[in-house]
C-alpha cells in the first residue's frame, strides 16, 4: 500500500542517495546581541521564536507540536536549524529538511515541505540517529508539563498473530494515554481497504531483517484523495483502550520460526485543517505509532 502521493514522492528522493547529512547544533543562541526570553520554547534559526503561549500542545506519542494559530511560513521550503529551548539554553536541535534533498539526515528533522500536518503543526522525526532519541527527553517533557502543554497521545501493543496456510489473523490494542478524549481511525468503520490507504499494514521480518510477509489488503483511495469523513472515526476516552482484528490473506506460506512483527497504527494528517482538529470537545489524533513484537510460528 502507498500511504500518500506526497510520501511516495518524498521517499523516492530519500533513497536516491546513501550519503549521510548530519544534523548539528545550529548554534542559534551564539549571537552576542541576543536577549534571552525565558518564555521562548521553540526557535527557528532565522530568529523566528514561539513562546509557550503560542503553543497549543505537544503530543509525545507522535512528536507533533501544535500551534494555536496557523503559520503561513510552514508551507514554505525552509532550510533552517531549529531548537527547543529552556530559558535560552538549547534542549536539543535539528534541521528543517526540504523534501527534495537526496541525502539521509542524522538526528531530528522537520520535513519542509511536504509538511504533512498543514500550517498548524510540525512533526519532529528521526530517520537515522546514532544517539538516544532526544525528542521526549525529560528536560523537554518536564517544562511542557509545567506549562500544561504535554499530551501523551496513543499507545498500543500487538496481542496475537495466528497464521494458517491461507490467512493471518492479527489482533492488536490501542490505548488512549492522553488527558483528553481522542478521535481515532476505526477499521470497523472505514473498512480494511480504506484503512490500509493510511498504513502499510502488518510486516513480518526474519531475524536477518528479510521480509517474510507484508500486508496483502489492497488500499482504497479516498475520493477526493485529500479528504476525510467524521464517520471514519471513533471516540476513545482518556484511559480507555480498544482492540481490533485484521485478517490478511496469505499468498505465500510463512514458514516456522522467529519473526519480528511490525505494524503502524495510522491517524489522519494533512487532511485535517486547524479548524477541524477539534470536533466539539474531542481532538482528532494525528500521526501514527508503530507497534512491535517478536513472535514464534510453530
Is the peptide bond prior to 173 cis by the omega test (within 30 degrees of 0)?
no
Extents of the domains making up the chain: 5-150, 153-297
Q: What is the mean pLDDT of each run of 10 residues along the chain (298 residues)?
A: 43 37 48 82 93 98 97 90 96 92 90 89 89 92 98 98 94 98 98 98 95 96 96 98 98 91 98 96 97 93
Looking at residue 3, its pLDDT comes to 46
Query: Cell for 58?
Result: 505537544
Looking at residue 32, its pLDDT comes to 65
Please check whether the domain covering 153-297 is classified as CATH 3.40.50.300: no
Amino acid at each position: 500500500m502507498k500511504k500518500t502521493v506526497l510520501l511516495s514522492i518524498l521517499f523516492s528522493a530519500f533513497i536516491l542517495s546513501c550519503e549521510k547529512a548530519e544534523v548539528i547544533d545550529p548554534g542559534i543562541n551564539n549571537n552576542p546581541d541576543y536577549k534571552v526570553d525565558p518564555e521562548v520554547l521553540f526557535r527557528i534559526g532565522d530568529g523566528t521564536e514561539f513562546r509557550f503561549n503560542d503553543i497549543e500542545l505537544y503530543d509525545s506519542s507522535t512528536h507533533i507540536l501544535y500551534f494555536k494559530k496557523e503559520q503561513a511560513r510552514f508551507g514554505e521550503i525552509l532550510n533552517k536549524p531549529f531548537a527547543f529551548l529552556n530559558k535560552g539554553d538549547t534542549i536539543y536541535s535539528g534541521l528543517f529538511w526540504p523534501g527534495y534533498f537526496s541525502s539521509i539526515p542524522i538526528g531530528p528533522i522537520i520535513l519542509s515541505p511536504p509538511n504533512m500536518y498543514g500550517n498548524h503543526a510540525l512533526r519532529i522525526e528521526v530517520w537515522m540517529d546514532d544517539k538516544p532519541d532526544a525528542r521526549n527527553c525529560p528536560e523537554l517533557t518536564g517544562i511542557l508539563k509545567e506549562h500544561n502543554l504535554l499530551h501523551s497521545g496513543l499507545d498500543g501493543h500487538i496481542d496475537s498473530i495466528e497464521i494458517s496456510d491461507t490467512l493471518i489473523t492479527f489482533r492488536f490494542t490501542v490505548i488512549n494515554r492522553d488527558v483528553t478524549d481522542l478521535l481515532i481511525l476505526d477499521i470497523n468503520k472505514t473498512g480494511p481497504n480504506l484503512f490500509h490507504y493510511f498504513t502499510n499494514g502488518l510486516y513480518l521480518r526474519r531475524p536477518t531483517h528479510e521480509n517474510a510477509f507484508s500486508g496483502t489488503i489492497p488500499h482504497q483511495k479516498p475520493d477526493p484523495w485529500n479528504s476525510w469523513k467524521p464517520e471514519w472515526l471513533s471516540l476513545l476516552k482518556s484511559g480507555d483502550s480498544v482492540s481490533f482484528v485484521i485478517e490478511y490473506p496469505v499468498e505465500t506460506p510463512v514458514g516456522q520460526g522467529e519473526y519480528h512483527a511490525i505494524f503502524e497504527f495510522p491517524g489522519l494528517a494533512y487532511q485535517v485543517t486547524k479548524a477541524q482538529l477539534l470536533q466539539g470537545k474531542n481532538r482528532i489524533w494525528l500521526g501514527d505509532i508503530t507497534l512491535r513484537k517478536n513472535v514464534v510460528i510453530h
